[in-house]
Structure 1
Amino acid sequence: MTNLFSSFDPSTNFNLSLNWLSTMIGLLIIPPMFWLIPSRFNFLWIKIISTLHKEFKILIGFNKTQGSTLLFISLFSLILFNNFLGLFPYIFTSTSHMTLTLSLALPLWLSFMIYGWLNNTIHMFAHLVPQGTPPVLMPFMVCIETISNVIRPGTLAVRLSANMIAGHLLMTLLGNTGPSLNILMINILILVQILLLILESAVSIIQSYVFAILSTLYSSEVN
């Protein structure tokens, strides 16, 4: 008997060590976009990218956008592809693992911090004490702001992986009750599973957007 989280274990599916290749399957979707231009998928993707670019450009600041939105749009695309691929049977959900989510969040946050503290030291110190703080509370505010700053990559990583795990786990648990149910309950179960799948599709989009938008906000703070 395996434990409840065995569906997220990289070594359980067919005992192959190729599971992490699922992070690259999204790249196979990109070339067919350009076989027939303009295709509907091409139109949709360009529309999504241009909308994100406009939004990120406002957040980062108009003077500092030279190619910087491209980084966050690429991040959004990678997480979105991986979240959606995880909804297919027998495809390993790489974004439900802290290994991937933390390796995306930590270098980003670390590079922002190094850049901010080296180039805008006074500005970064000013961020530690919010405007209008009474002098008595200043030491406490510095501690609180420092802690909230340090846990940012952790919250980014945990938010993404926990949301992916929660939905998949719920679907796995409900699916395992199928063999013991009668025909009426199985029909209800299938309906519930379909609704959960729609919810998970929405969560996949929302979580990739949240990850990208928060990364953009963190980068705009160091400028």
Structure 2
Amino acid sequence: MRPFLTSLITAATVITAAAFSVGDGTAIAAADSGASESVAEDYHAAVDVIADYWAQQAPEMFGIDYEPPTVRGVIDPGDATACGPMPEMNAIYCPRDHSVQFGSDYLELADSIGDVIVYDVVAHEWGHAILAQVPSSLVEDPQELQAECLAGGALGDLARDGVIVVEDGDLEEVVKLFRYSDAPGDAHGTAEQQALAFAAGWRQGPAACFE
């Protein structure tokens, strides 16, 4: 195992939700086109807990009038979004209408690696929605590693609070997804950089993402 993975994998093949609650104001506006039943189940559970987490944490943490993103659901590659057609193997936060949407092919890939990956995909795009609302002086460019840190921060807090249950092997699964974008020059950073960003948030909470 590579050394950076040893520092990342401190807990946790399945994340399950122990409690569901949709944050006030979250708009869910689309069906799950192209999503299998297992993917749809994991996706909805992830949206519920991430929405509730940030509805509670963002106003106090950042001193903002938090606006949750519109959740446009699971859509197929090529389907229209306010930011253009959904790319293949992707999930996006669209700043034009402050929305998140998730490619059915990407979530199927994520779910094939492990349930936890679906949670990370949702949490990552929600991280972009958070970064769109905090002072610009706090936002890194590109945002991808910071959004991944926020994903780790949210999921780590939810695990510590018992809202999600993390089992042996879960965090290894997260790293498998990072390897898909481990390419020179990719805005998401290398697999190692993504893993370290996730781990910093996981261990220390979202505040670590702005240090």
TM normalised by structure 2 equals 0.29
Pair member with larger Rg: 1
TM normalised by structure 1 equals 0.28
- Greater RCO (Cα-Cα under 8 Å, separation 6 or more): 1
By percentage of residues, which structure has more helix? 1
